[in-house]
Every structure is written in structure tokens, then in C-alpha cells.
Structure 1
């Protein structure tokens, strides 16, 4: 996963240096013109750009609202527009997502997750202070955005891949081997690899189809280096493999030599210049390997430096700085358990094609991770999503680990790197499997995935329900529409797991899902809330993370449902949920929550009865517990007295014209929550 808060990934300080100190490296290009030239010179070749999809998430998420859980219909529309802009000028796009976190980068992954936690803490503090979404500079992508973006692209028919190793490497490799016209992303590692040209996603203007090309040749010319020297430069500066601290003493030596010659105070740009000059003047002899051996660093750091250089070498490439090219991480990770080869092969193929979720990571290395979620670190009543969905994950692990060959050597736990407040991520949590309640026992995983026997369709469905402990409700749930089945399973599960969940919360979840399913994109641009509730923010993130568990269960069970039915743009909208939450806790009637639509009210009632029945079956009685907003200027009373001072969105003006119910609860619905 990547850090999304604006800092470029890759080589420490290099992206800033290129953009602020060496403008000659930044060349504005017109992608349409480049594509035309390629077609003229090579009529049989389709101009292709390989895209670092993880770098695009912030570019694609253009909705103003982000803290409420995501504006998903707007998001997928943004991706559609992005793809159309390229296809209209004859450019093919190929997308890559990170599929693993390599062990030699786990430390950096942890550092960024903990840094994100601090940013999230500030976000919640700001919400509590102002009652509003924080300013744009605090933007944090909605939970689950990276996961669902894979399926969004797949649903739109574009070529999408999920990496088996570091995605940067696979992207650079694809760009080289397929003679791509460019790599679109925002990671300075792409200027280090000797591959296709590096194009900026941040500078991309879709209307004019222009962006900035970071010229590898111009960078080398300005620094007095050869292309083969760039990996060494990157490693001394610090990257994801060689931490900046590892070679701090060497950089200090470079700086001392550089400043002695410059005879001036150090500048921010001097580190890159100093290291480059040190390489070109002190190390670039006819025998670079001997020069590497003379570097004033320990043997351990030298080995790390060599590994860092190796990581930039693509197929058939060599480096004068190292004796030989070591193999990069194997395409198939070494298994921590003996899994049926056919099962692993199927899971691997699904993983590569971005068709499944989580399954291959469990089967191949027995390890999974989940990045940051918008969760309030000071929230005491709502457990983190890592805990809420652990039981479902444990059942998923049970089913997956049943594919082990030797029961005497079988492994019964999975390593989890899940980010939540209070978890220092010093080591993974070992999560055990738990029994799966199926009358016929655990199904054969390979048959569950590939068999076309008529009975398998039903078995996949019942197994899916068993993962959420809903095997007793097969008949009631099976008659529902597929998208509604996902909603129902998720809300029953959350209601059982979260003791503080109230009737008002269920009403908000359920009413927004029903309304979202039946509204066009154009409706949501008119929905606005004037008060942000931190609990609603966390409940929204909880629901979205729950959808990722649904798609993991769907993959594990051999796809009893089309993945499209479990996507958030089908059943969730952050602003809409927030509006329903505030209205529900203010005492609005079910009729108002369902916007007086008789059909929606009927469906809402049937699903709510089923959810409460399933909870009661487990001894969980859901209580009404309306919650008032924080006191102060964002309270209902203040807004009622100062209504003219607050701008109402067009959607709010429309809703306020609705005829209010004569019930007492309906009259309690204040205007602030619309």
C-alpha cells in the first residue's frame, strides 16, 4: 500500500529536487501527439501506457466529501471519465495494483501506517472542534478505496493486474518488455528504473491530454551521471529498501566534501547534488565494484546497498556496481504450508487478474494486512473494524486452510498486520481458525471453486452464509435479491458484533442502502450535511470495511455472487448515510427515512424484521438509543435559531418541502441533519 497524503513515494527527496531545482528534467508533453507519432511510425503497435493504479487514487477521487465514507457513485464515474479520455485518443491503459507487501519493505510499511494514524487522529480532533469535514489539506482517502478500485476497473473492461511482488518493479518490467509509451504514476523510483518514460499523474490534464514527463536522460545530464548510476544514487539517498538512516553517515561525508568545494551554507537541494557529485567524482572509476568495496560502511549495510541496487534491475539488465544480478523475489512466494497445488494455482491466477481478494495471500504466505481506516482513536464504544470482522476472517481462514495436505503438519493460524488505534505493529497478530458450522462438514475447496455440478451452486451459497454464522437463515435470505443479500448479511453480522449498535444505527444503514440502490448519480450531487458526527464517520468506515470482508468470503466460496453485487457504488453513499444517521438519531420516522416511498418502506420493514430476528436468535436484543450531536454552535437548537446563517444545499431545500408525518417522532426531525 501507499502513503496518500501527498508525499511522493520512492527515493527520498528526489521528486522535490526534480520539480524545484532541475526544471529541465520536467518536460511537458502531449499524450495525444505522442500516440499519433507512435501509430505513424509503427502502424501495428497500439500506444500503451502502464498505470500505477495506487498513485491514481487521489487523482480519481474528485468528490468534495471524503470523510463520510466515500462518494462511490461519483468515484466510479470519475474512473469512467478517466478511461474514456485515453481511449478516445487511441491510447490503451494497463493498470497494476500492489498485491503484496514484501518482507524487506515491512518496516517502511509500518512506519507509514503509524504516520497515517497520527493524521487520522488530527482529522477526528478537527471534526470534534468544528463539526465539519476538515480542510482539503487534511484529505485522507476513504477506507477500502484501493481494494474496490481494482474491481471498478475490471467492471469497466480495462486490463487490470495485481502484483505478486513489489508493484513498482512489475510496472517497470511491463513498461520495458511491452515497449510502452510511458509509465503513469507519482513515484520517483520510475526515473531510476531503466524502462519506459515516467509520466506524472499529478500533472495530468485530461482536457488537453498533457502532463509532465520526468526525463531520465536530462536528470543524468544535469547530475553528471550515467543511467547505470541512478540505482546507487537512489539507495544512498534512501528508498523503500535502504532506509535513509542506514547510509546517513555516508551522506554526511558527501555533504562535507560538497560544501567544502561550494564554500556556502547547505541548502535543501544539496543532498542530491552532493551524493551525485560523490558518485561521479569519487566512485566512477573503471572498476566500480572495487569502489563499492571501499565505501566507508559496514558489511551489513554494504549487503543492503547491493540488494537495493539489485531491486532496480529489470530482466536482462546488469549493473557495473555489483558482481551479478541476484534474482528478484520469486513469482510464487514460498508457502508456509503445504497447500493443494491446484488450489494454489487457481488462487494465484485470480490474484494476478485482480479477480479475487485476500485468498492468495493467506494460501501462499499465511499473512494478510489491512491499511488505515478512519477510526476515532478516542472512541470507547465502537470497536475497531479489525476486531469486528475478525470472527468472519477466522472462518474464512478455516475454509482456506482446509486445503492443506498433511493434517499432522497443518497450520491453524494466520499472521495479521491490521492497523487500528493502539496497535504499534511491532509484530503480526497470530489469529487462530475457528469451527465453521456446516451440517455436511467443510467442503473440498477445489470442488467448491471449479465444480460445475448443480449442487455446487447451492453449496457455495450456504458456505458463504456459514462464514457469517447465518446457516440457519438460508431460506429467508435466499429469496432476496443478490445485492440485498450482501446488505442483509453484513448488517446482521455488524449488529451481532457491536454491542453499542442501536436501532437508530440499523435504520440509518438500511434506509441509505435502499435509497442508494434506487437513485441515479445526479441525485447525490445535491445531498449535503451541515454537521459531521464522528461516530457516523466511523460507522461508515466500518460498513465499507465489511464489504471487503464480503468480497473475501465471496472469493473463498467460489463466487456464489457476482462481485458487482458487493461493490459500494451499488449500495452505499457516504453523504447519504450521514444524512440518514443524523435524521434517525433525531427521531425521524421510518417513512421520512425512506422518503415516503411505499415500496422502499415495505422492503425496509421486511429486512429490518429479518435482521432483528437473526440478532435475537443469538440473544442480541437491539435497543433504541438516540444520540444527540455535540453541544455548542452545531446543536439543533442553535441552528433552529440561526437558520438563515446556514446555507442549505439544493437537496436540503427539496427535502424540507416534504410533508412531515403527523407522528410525534417525525416532528422531532430538525433541519441541521439534512
Structure 2
């Protein structure tokens, strides 16, 4: 990220430009300066603009990261981090990347491929040693960038999602609002003529000390004006102008520099390169004949390279800056991709929700016609598990259909296609997968999107829920709305959708049991869970679930938000370490009572959810099978046999190898096999048992959240955890205190309006 080698040059060759500062004192000085200057910000608290993406790896300090994320602990970390600034009187404004501009796509792909290599090393380490690798191979949990903005908003923070490059919007906001600084880790913030750039990497949260990279001192050292920094940055290489494109310019500059400076001031090659290019830039603009508003004609550039250089320089120019006025960054804002398929009101709402970090996926689909998903912890050597991009592809197609196909007559003429840049094993990322929308499986016509998004009344609320559930082929679960927590309803939809793939009963039991047990766990208890070893397969399943939560979020946004977004957050239905422990227990044949922490209320709820899942799968011709896998504490790294072959001695059953099932990396298959499975409708089974478990008054008493209804069993938890039996006391109500567990199901009542 940023300018190649510039920050390293400053730290090694220009240490006077790297100033240690205290943010408390900096804030006091900022207030004093504002009051003396009678600026418009005099009455507002000193504001720090935070590059959220650059902070993710620093925020996620939880011990376990390969298991899918310790989300409740992470939420506590964020809360403490925010409180450290607010206690010092500093207001925080967060920005997150909302788009990847096409001029930076090549750099995005290059980074994704590099991370793919690191992910492969992670799985080789897990299979060799049965443990999480060290911090040198740290990879943030899947979905962290998706859910962190929601977490910060839940903490009362102001959060924005960018519609242009995030660093450009950060610098623009900081300059426009007279902010005290920008907190991030990107040397591009040295180039922007904006607020001071402060390092999050050097930040000590206890003292609020960090390093300020002073662009004025840098300019004095290298002999340039601040307005000349954008050209320097592009000649050195950045995300827009690659290092290779300007190599010949740097070589010429180095040759001239060495002739004029036989004894260079710096031994480091990078220091010499920065000084050589700086001297070149200074000499070009020192010539009278060169117009400073244009790229100097004396630069040895082809026409395409000159245009690229101009684009790179323009990317650093903020609104109302004088230099290079022929650059108009507003032209970088492209017209909506599918404006003829949606109303102006929908376009406006998409953008507003996106900017406020309140939506997910819909802006990329409707306004850009493209979505992307970064690396996920997936084992490229495991041919049994389908990559998450392919697992959720049918779901995305129905989301696209809900957004774009309303009012269509069913013809394929002028049918829009979404460009998907999804990272998964076997995808070379040379071009996007072109994915077409699909209508929902409901017999009625596609709904009017304006009605779903802006309509009122119980009928509209019921319609929103129906279309949300139909995206996951779980329409029957509408009867559970109001009977169980929204977070559990969402988890059941997700696990059922996954169950319609090829996972075993043990996998699904692990998913469901951890979602049920999580309600009664404190963050401290979750941290104290001990894993005897780490299973590579469980690691991938954990990431699969969290990626599924993001698809729930996208489906919820597309269907008009029938569920509150907080119900779809991972800290309400998933903990990586807890899931991992449940996975190991489920595959070891542990009794369900022990799997549910010997708590009768949790066991009752688990069995009810499990029965509902099994019944729904049966209607679609999917018979769940027990297929326990006994993981070993040490795995061989020799490639070849699949996980199932290594641990059971059996070859993969038909349909286990997703590559052999016909899934392609080019995205030409659209989940046909899943849809064909969904057409099979089995008869209703287990009606009597279902009525016994789900009927009014069935296990109502055991569902109540009061401590008197939690029955303790003498079973102790196996040695996957420390401390013997788990404490099954009630620990307060869930996130929205709706008392769901005190109510019998209300099948006949429609969902309430106003959701």
C-alpha cells in the first residue's frame, strides 16, 4: 500500500521527519489553535480520522484467529480502544474501503495471490503440527472488514464506507473539517496535502503515543515542495502507477544522480533512489519553460504512460486544491451500473446506506455491477469441501435477482450480469466471473423493490421476511419468527443452507450446538476454552460460516431488512474457539447432552432446531448422514489423499470432490445441481414429534431464560476445556431483550410491522 519505499526512507534516512507525539497533548494544542484562529471547528472536539482497514490487524489481538474469530472478545477490544480516545477528549471518525477501483484492480489481484501463498502455509502448518501457526503467518479472520463497521457503530461511533478510494476520502474529510490528524498505515497520507499522518503501527494505546510522519520536514530534506510530492510518489511507484511502469525513469534519474553525487549521503539503495527521483522532479519544475500545471514534457514517456502518470497524480489532488486543475476527480465517479433496472429512490437509498455503513453488497451490485471477496482460510488441498465462493453462489444469484429482476417478464434479453472477483482455490483471478441473477423459487411474481424497501404495514413486513428466507430456500422458517431469537433464526437459515450441500450430520451438529451454547457464555469463558489440537477441516468450516453471515447480511439488505442487522452479527451466533471445540466433540461421538454443556434448556432448543433443519432438508431430497471424522493431533503434509481418505481409509464418496462435481473456476455453472436437489420434495416426516417439541407449551418451561429453568446435569465436559463442567447459570438477556424464550411459537400471527 502507498508509495514504494517512502516510509522506509523516512525512518532510515530522514529520522527528523518521524516525530514521536502524544495524542492527548496534540489534541489540547489543536483545541487551543482552533480557538485562537476562530475557525469553524473551534467548538467541536479534536477529531482523528481513522483508516479502519489499516487498523484491523492491530485491533484483532485475540489469541485464536484461525478458528474463525473470537468475536465477543474482539468487540471488547474495540470498546476499550475507543474509550482510550474518548477519555482523552478525542472524537473518532472511521472510514472503510467500500470499492476497489478498476485502475487498482491489478494491484488488488497481486495482493490476493500473495495472501493465497500465505494461506497455503497456514494449512500446511496446521496439518503438520495440529496447532495454530505463529504471528508471522497471521491472517485476520474472514469477514473482519465486513463486520467491524457494524461493531463500531454499535459502540456509538461515526463510520463511513467509501464510494471512491478510502484514502482519498479520508484525506478529503480531514482537510475539509480541519481534523487534528489521520491515523493509519499508508504512506499515501504523506503525499496528500491534508491533516498530519499518524502511525497506527507505532501507536501505544495505554499512553496514546505514536509517530507523526512530517511531510514538511520530508520536503525540506529532499528539496521539494508539498505540491511536487504527487509526481514523486508516481515515479517511485504506487497502487495506480506500478513500480515497473516507471522503472526506466528511475534508472535515468539514478544514473544522473550518481554522476553529480559520487559520494552519496546514504548507503541504502532506497535512500539513493528517493533522492535521485526527488532531484529529477525538482530539476524538471525548475525549468522556466515547463508549465507546473502539466506533467513536464521532457519526461521520457509514451502517450499511455503519460496518461497513467496523470491519473496517478490526479488521485492525490483533493477538492479545491489549485495545482493541476485539469484533474477532475469527480469524473472517477462512474454512472450507476444498473440504473435502468431500479428506481432513482432505490439508487439513492443504496448509496446512503453504503456510505453510512448500514448496508452490505447491494451498492456494489446496483451501482457498480461488481462485488469482490478477499482471501478466506480455505485449504486448496482439501477436495472435499466446496470453496465458500461456490457454496454461496446460488444465494448471491438470488440476491442479484431480487435487486435487478423485479418487473422482468422472464426473458433473458438485456439481462444484467454481475462481475464477481472472488478469491478461492483454482481461480487465477485473470478476469471476473460473470454471474447472472436468478429469480427466487417462490411461485409468485418478483416483488416490487420499492415496495419491499419503502412500504409499510404487516403485509409488507411479512413479504420482506418471505423473500429473505427464500434466498436461502428456507421459506418454512417464517413460522419461527417471533418464537426464537432473530440471531438463532438467522443461524438456522444459514446452517440449513449449508446442510443442503454435502456436509455431515456431525458438522451441522457442531454449527447448531455452538450457536445455542454461545447464548450462555461470557467472553471470559470463551477465552478459557482449551483446544487439544486444531483441525484444518474445522478451520475451513469456521470461515465458511462467517462468510455465510455476510451473505445473510446482503440478503437482508436486498429484501428490505426484515431482521435487525445486529441479529446477523457474528458475536451473536459464532465464536471460533467454541465452534472448534464443538466440532471435535461432535466428530468424536460425544453424547448430545455433553455437546450442549449438560444444560437441559440448551439441549431442548438444539433438538428443536435440529429437527426443523432435518425436516426442511428432507423436503428437498437431502438426507443427512453421519460421517464422523476422527482428526489426529498430527497430520502429514504429504499432498494427495483427501481428508476423508487420510482419516477413514475410504475414498471420497460421490459428490465429495467439488472439482469432480463439475464446479468450474470460471463461474459458468450456476449451482444447477443444488437447484436440482431443491426440486425434490419429500413427504412430511416426524409430525408427531415436531408437535411435541414445537407445539404451544411443549418445552416452554425449559426455554425460559431465568436461572430456575436451567437444569444441571452431572456430566462433565471432556478435557477439551479446563475447569470441568461448564457453568450453566443464566447470564442475562440476549442483545435485544425481546424475551423470545418465554414465548410459545405464534405460527398464525404475521411478523410485526416496523421491522
Partner of 2:520: 518
Taking the TM superposition and a 5 Å limit, the aligned residue runs for 1:579-618 are: 579-618=581-620
Taking the TM superposition and a 5 Å limit, the aligned residue runs for 1:266-281 are: 267-281=269-283
Shift of 1:613: 1.1
Shift of 1:324: 2.0
Partner of 2:721: 652
Report the Cα distance in structure 2 between the residues aligned to 1:521 and 1:557, rounded to whole angstroms: 33
Taking the TM superposition and a 5 Å limit, the aligned residue runs for 1:291-306 are: 292-306=296-310
Taking the TM superposition and a 5 Å limit, the aligned residue runs for 1:427-506 are: 427-476=431-480, 479-497=483-501, 499=502, 501-506=503-508
Deviations 1:489-515 (A, max 9, x none): 000000102x1x111111111111111
Report the Cα distance in structure 1 between the residues aligned to 2:356 and 2:726, rounded to whole angstroms: 49
Change (3 A) 1:287 1:324: farther
1:20 aligned to 2:89?
Answer: no
1:351 aligned to 2:420?
Answer: no
Shift of 1:402: 2.6
Larger proportion of helix: 1
Partner of 2:368: 365
Please give the TM-score of this superposition, normalised by the length of structure 2. Answer: 0.81
Report the Cα distance in structure 1 between the residues aligned to 2:86 and 2:176, rounded to whole angstroms: 22
Task: List gaps (5 residues or longer) in structure 2.
Answer: 36-41, 637-716, 728-755
Deviations 1:78-137 (A, max 9, x none): 111111111111111011111111111111111111111111111111111111101111
Report the Cα distance in structure 1 between the residues aligned to 2:295 and 2:572, rounded to whole angstroms: 59
* Over 4 Å off, 4+ runs: 329-332, 403-410, 631-634, 648-651
Report the Cα distance in structure 1 between the residues aligned to 2:336 and 2:452, rounded to whole angstroms: 25
Please give the TM-score of this superposition, normalised by the length of structure 1. Answer: 0.90
Change (3 A) 1:174 1:650: farther
Report the Cα distance in structure 1 between the residues aligned to 2:726 and 2:150, rounded to whole angstroms: 39
Alpha carbons 1:285, 1:291 under 8 Å: kept:
no
Deviations 1:570-601 (A, max 9, x none): 11111111111111111111111111011001
Shift of 1:282: 4.5
Change (3 A) 1:329 1:144: farther
Aligned partner of residue 579 in structure 1, secondary structure = helix
Change (3 A) 1:539 1:551: same
Alpha carbons 2:490, 2:568 under 8 Å: kept:
yes
Change (3 A) 1:165 1:53: same
Task: List gaps (5 residues or longer) in structure 1.
Answer: 1-8, 635-647, 659-674
Partner of 1:176: 175
Residue in structure 1 matching 2:631, options 604, 626, 629: 629
Alpha carbons 1:28, 1:213 under 8 Å: kept:
yes
Taking the TM superposition and a 5 Å limit, the aligned residue runs for 1:319-338 are: 319=323, 322=324, 324-331=326-333, 333-338=335-340
Partner of 2:129: 130
Aligned partner of residue 94 in structure 1, secondary structure = strand
Report the Cα distance in structure 1 between the residues aligned to 2:171 and 2:134, rounded to whole angstroms: 35
Alpha carbons 1:337, 1:411 under 8 Å: kept:
no
Change (3 A) 1:399 1:657: closer
Residue in structure 1 matching 2:561, options 529, 535, 559: 559
Shift of 1:283: 4.2
Aligned partner of residue 183 in structure 2, secondary structure = strand
Report the Cα distance in structure 2 between the residues aligned to 1:329 and 1:602, rounded to whole angstroms: 59
Partner of 2:31: 39
Partner of 1:231: 230
Partner of 1:212: 211
Which segment drifts farther, 483-492 or 9-18? 9-18
Report the Cα distance in structure 1 between the residues aligned to 2:67 and 2:634, rounded to whole angstroms: 21
Which segment drifts farther, 550-559 or 263-272? 263-272
Which segment drifts farther, 217-226 or 452-461? 452-461
Report the Cα distance in structure 2 between the residues aligned to 1:227 and 1:164, rounded to whole angstroms: 26
Report the Cα distance in structure 1 between the residues aligned to 2:368 and 2:207, rounded to whole angstroms: 45
**Over aligned residues, Cα RMSD in angstroms?**
2.2
Shift of 1:656: 7.2
1:547 aligned to 2:616?
Answer: no
Report the Cα distance in structure 2 between the residues aligned to 1:212 and 1:353, rounded to whole angstroms: 30
Alpha carbons 1:526, 1:651 under 8 Å: kept:
no
Partner of 1:415: 419
Aligned partner of residue 254 in structure 1, secondary structure = helix
